[in-house]
Structure 1
Amino acid sequence: MHEIITLQLGQLSNYAATHFWNTQESYFTYSDQDESLVNHNVHWRPGVALDGTETFLPRTVIYDLKGGFGSLRKINALYDASQDSAPTQLWDGSPHVHNQPQIDQSAYQRSLDQGTPAPTLTTSDVRYWSDFSRVFYHPKSLNQLYDYELNSSIMPFDKWSLGRELFDTLDKEHDIVDRDFRPFVEEADQMQGLQIVTTIDDAWGGFATEYVEKLRDEYGKAAIWVWGLQSPMPAARIDQKRLQMSNTARTVKDLSENASMLVPMALPQTGLSPNICIDRQSPWHTTAVLATAIETAGLATRLHAVTGVGLKTTLADLASGLNLRGKQTISRLQMSIRGLPSDSAVDLPTFETTHEGGGTDDTILDTNFFDMLRVNPAASRGRNRTGHVPHFFGHSTTTRGLPLPVDNADSPMPRPRAALVETSTQRFHTAKRFPILDSFPRILVEESGRTPFEDLAVKTSLSTDTSVSTAMRAMRTTVAWTIDLEDREDISNELADLEEAYREGWSSGSDDGDD
């Protein structure tokens, strides 16, 4: 069934993944006449609840720190065994129970449980990612790590080394990949790959690198696709900024070695799509933008093929179409959105734009998420520091919700890596628009007098291009001196190799490598 198993690491990642799962849940259809374009078996696992009813729950493994789950309980309405009394023969003494203060459900969650109309969510209503979640999770999916507490100022979970040490400690005690992840792999019929959502500029980056290395050892041939999120608000203090850059460099270096594809995602400091207005202090807001891009860029891996047999593509095919030289395991992600009230009779907006400097509609979109060092204003428009459009090696575009010209329909399978081509292009299209749910923040600017957006047309672009070489060089020269001398040479050499992988065969002889 070409299943994808998801791994979610940390608070920000769980915010983004919650938007993702809410969107997946909205694709379910409940009429024989209304067949879904999405193959639900890719991301959802069938099961049976305690009362015997059939369930569909996410194929995901979730980790967060103590207090990070909010009001979400490991045992929910579908799997509540209600075993209140323990066997008396196991203990003769009087029990002493220490309960943590229980976090109250949000009004939104209560409305879902009661089946009443949901209230309009605001930033003050969303305290945790569970406050706007629309789905149930299997108890096996939820893993709270008690070694660190969410948002602790006494013992913050902010250094790459802390994440690595935490994983190693837990793995020695429990073999957590075998305990937490393997059960989901074993129940899959034909797993197409693993999808990982993690932050890369804090301690979760260290946790992720160890986890991915273990997954690669266990499942050597599996496609491992990583969405590497960065803090929406760059650190203000110099020491914190240096720490974030050091964390990012270490994580990128290690993940690029073991992941099939790493997609770094930083919310642009300027240059968001003109119709997006967000509160950057709200992870609910910021991850809504990131999740829209994630959900659209990977949509083809869960869409039924036009023939009705199989999927439009798989994670492995998507990665191989981008990684033409075997070492191009980092992709740049861009996105444009166009909104239209569903009941409006105006003409459909398009993504057609004119760009200076040689850019086309496929190569330059409104929002560019690739800015690992958070210092490049030009990243907002997909250009390098010289203002030139980068050269593309592998390129994949997904367009949803708008008609396409006949010659721009879904492309065939990616060309073989050995083919002598300058650029390998994959194009995917679907009429399925991105749904705006009641759990999604109202971050879209609407024209006066129009009804709120109910769905969106979205276009995404994934590319391996020469801007990655520029970023690797900048990271190597900017960050290397902030790293311990013991690791500096190794990390610097690995970043230099990545820089070269995106320059080979496409260099004008300039020092910049930005042609």
Structure 2
Amino acid sequence: MHEVVTISVSQRANHLNTQFFNIQEGYLQLSKEQQVNDSKIFLNPTVDKVSRTVSFTPRALLWDARTGNGSLGTYQYSETQDYHFGNEDRFKDQTIIKTHPKIPKSEYQSALDAGTPLPTLSRENTKYWSDYSKLIYGPSSFNILRDWYHDVENPNQPDFQNLGERKFDRYSIGYDEFTENYLQEFFDGNLHTELEKCDTLQGLNLVSDVESGWGGFSSALLLELRNELPKKTVFSWGFNEDDPFTNDSPMKGLSKKWLPIISNKLRSTINMMLESDLYFPLYASPGLTNWETAGENCRILDSINATVSQSNLEQRKTMDYLTTAVTLGYSSRNMITGMVIGNTDYSFCSQIAPFKNSHKHNGAHVFSRSFIDRRSQMCQNHSEPDPQSKIIEMRTHRYFPSDTIPAEFSRDYEFALELKSSEKSRDIFKHWNEFVVRYFKNDNDREELKNQLSDYASAYESGWYEDEDSGDDDM
């Protein structure tokens, strides 16, 4: 067995992993003849010898702000005293300080507990990831920011002490929060507990936002994770929203409000790439809630994980195999430039405007292409691809979307996912480098960032480019 542990950092990341683990729960409902994956890779089995039953909990560590878990308590399914609410008699001789109103259990969770028909999910009843989570998590899965509270109106940026005066909106805030308050506690506590449940750990998935303090928090966590587990494979996944560089005239769209956001994004991306074997820059489409965004992107996360956990051992691949398929041994090209299904590219790279001297007419050079085929009907005349073509093909079972995924994102059960590494990634690093040159006048890490961005841009170049030095340092 080669287990994979998932670390989920932020409310939006927890929504995505909830959808993924709901799919894992669905696999448990299949008959023995229908089984398509090895559930033990992502789920930890606990055997009850008395009743002769097996229960499964996710191999997951979830980080969120206070109240971000909604009505779900850390010990909800093993103790009844996690909250004061509903246990007033037990606390009658103690002083109770209420810091926030009770969050009622969702109708969906109530129906799951009662075994009654499940209600239809919508934007209104999926505010929290726990509103529609199907599996029961172990107590060691939950990790909470003690001083930051979930903001229902702005769910991806916690609020300090619930005062409405300070947001979890800076890379430095998140980085310092983890290193100063949680590093030792997390690694000696909950992470160690989860790792002990694994026989042969293959690697980890880390999912996070990159535009807020969560990006800095994840970067600090990932740096220490690499020191702790240097030989294990790590895939990191970062959610990106639109910014001025997704417009046709990037620099014209810049204003003061964008400076901290782009600063967070580029610092988080650089550090997650440095400490990961593969980095998946996910795109959060505008206008979608976290529940919908998770449903849209789950087919990408599930396709990667299905490839390493499928029951067909001849087709099953390792995380290391996937890494080599994308990078071809060039560790500096570990960003997934394209994640294409049909006509849709789920990578944030696809949203970025071309840099001013990009090869617009000839198209971006493709360094590697990999396909994960999830179609049941295979081509009869299929032959193995030529190794010199840099195209790698993998196969796994069809998609089994959970009924918690919005209908518009769960219609296609059979598809092929294309993973690309191409020159398009260069556009991001060149835009960011120009941004750092123009606006990071007093940042202590300015020169280091410029060098890192230039190195990554060079790694994604093919062919000759005209001199592009703008001389902005002299402005």
TM over 0.5: yes
After TM superposition, give the deviation of residue 232 of structure 1 in Å.
6.7
Task: Give 1:239's aligned amino acid.
Answer: K
Higher helix share: 2
Match of 2:471 in 1: none
After TM superposition, give the deviation of residue 408 of structure 1 in Å.
4.6
Match of 2:282 in 1: 265
Match of 1:468 in 2: 425
Q: Describe how 1:41-190 pairs up with structure 2 within 5 A.
A: 41-48=40-47, 53-77=53-77, 79-80=78-79, 94-99=93-98, 100-151=100-151, 152=159, 153-171=164-182, 174-190=184-200
Q: Is the 8 A contact 1:19 1:288 kept in 2?
A: yes
Q: Describe how 1:195-234 pairs up with structure 2 within 5 A.
A: 195-231=205-241
Q: Describe how 1:352-367 pairs up with structure 2 within 5 A.
A: 365-367=343-345
Task: Give 1:80's aligned amino acid.
Answer: E
After TM superposition, give the deviation of residue 250 of structure 1 in Å.
0.5
Match of 1:404 in 2: 378
Q: Is the 8 A contact 2:6 2:61 kept in 1?
A: yes
After TM superposition, give the deviation of residue 261 of structure 1 in Å.
1.1
Q: Is the 8 A contact 1:203 1:247 kept in 2?
A: yes
SS of 1:390's equivalent in the other structure is: coil
Question: Closer, same or farther in 2 for the Cα pair 1:49/1:148, shift >3 Å?
Answer: farther
Match of 1:239 in 2: 256
Q: Is the 8 A contact 1:224 1:259 kept in 2?
A: yes
Task: Give 1:102's aligned amino acid.
Answer: K
Q: Is the 8 A contact 1:120 1:438 kept in 2?
A: no
CA RMSD of aligned residues (A): 3.0
Task: Give 1:305's aligned amino acid.
Answer: N
Which 5+ residue runs of structure 1 have no aligned equivalent?
86-92, 270-279, 338-364, 379-383, 416-420, 445-452
**Does 1:194 pair with 2:150?**
no
Aligned sequence identity (%): 23
After TM superposition, give the deviation of residue 304 of structure 1 in Å.
2.5
Q: Is the 8 A contact 1:225 1:261 kept in 2?
A: yes
Task: Give 1:405's aligned amino acid.
Answer: C
SS of 1:80's equivalent in the other structure is: coil
SS of 1:103's equivalent in the other structure is: coil
Which 5+ residue runs of structure 2 have no aligned equivalent?
85-91, 152-158, 247-252, 469-475
Q: Is the 8 A contact 1:106 1:131 kept in 2?
A: yes
Q: Is the 8 A contact 1:7 1:197 kept in 2?
A: yes
**Does 1:332 pair with 2:332?**
no
Match of 2:154 in 1: none
After TM superposition, give the deviation of residue 11 of structure 1 in Å.
0.7
Match of 1:376 in 2: 353
After TM superposition, give the deviation of residue 314 of structure 1 in Å.
1.1
Q: Describe how 1:351-500 pairs up with structure 2 within 5 A.
A: 365-371=343-349, 375-376=352-353, 386=360, 388-406=362-380, 408=382, 421=388, 424-430=390-396, 432-443=397-408, 456-483=413-440, 484-500=442-458
CA distance in 1 between partners of 2:211 and 2:50 (Å): 43
Question: Closer, same or farther in 2 for the Cα pair 1:50/1:490, shift >3 Å?
Answer: farther
SS of 2:340's equivalent in the other structure is: strand
SS of 2:331's equivalent in the other structure is: coil
Match of 2:35 in 1: 36
Task: Give 1:367's aligned amino acid.
Answer: D
Aligned residue-pair number: 437
CA shift digits 1:223-266 (9 cap, x unpaired)? 01001112379899933322221111111121221111111112
Q: Is the 8 A contact 2:43 2:58 kept in 1?
A: yes
CA shift digits 1:298-337 (9 cap, x unpaired)? 3211112354xxx611111111222222321211232325
After TM superposition, give the deviation of residue 49 of structure 1 in Å.
7.1
Question: Closer, same or farther in 2 for the Cα pair 1:402/1:83, shift >3 Å?
Answer: closer
CA distance in 2 between partners of 1:109 and 1:218 (Å): 37
Question: Closer, same or farther in 2 for the Cα pair 1:257/1:81, shift >3 Å?
Answer: same
Question: Closer, same or farther in 2 for the Cα pair 1:428/1:407, shift >3 Å?
Answer: farther
SS of 1:214's equivalent in the other structure is: helix
Q: Describe how 1:493-508 pairs up with structure 2 within 5 A.
A: 493-503=451-461, 506-508=462-464
What TM-score, normalized by structure 1, do the two folds share? Answer: 0.77
CA shift digits 1:325-380 (9 cap, x unpaired)? 2321211232325xxxxxxxxxxxxxxxxxxxxxxxxxxx42242338x65399xx
Task: Give 1:498's aligned amino acid.
Answer: Y
CA distance in 2 between partners of 1:243 and 1:49 (Å): 51
CA shift digits 1:270-307 (9 cap, x unpaired)? xxxxxxxxxx2411112211122221233211112354
Match of 1:320 in 2: 324
Task: Give 2:331's aligned amino acid.
Answer: G
CA distance in 2 between partners of 1:59 and 1:159 (Å): 29
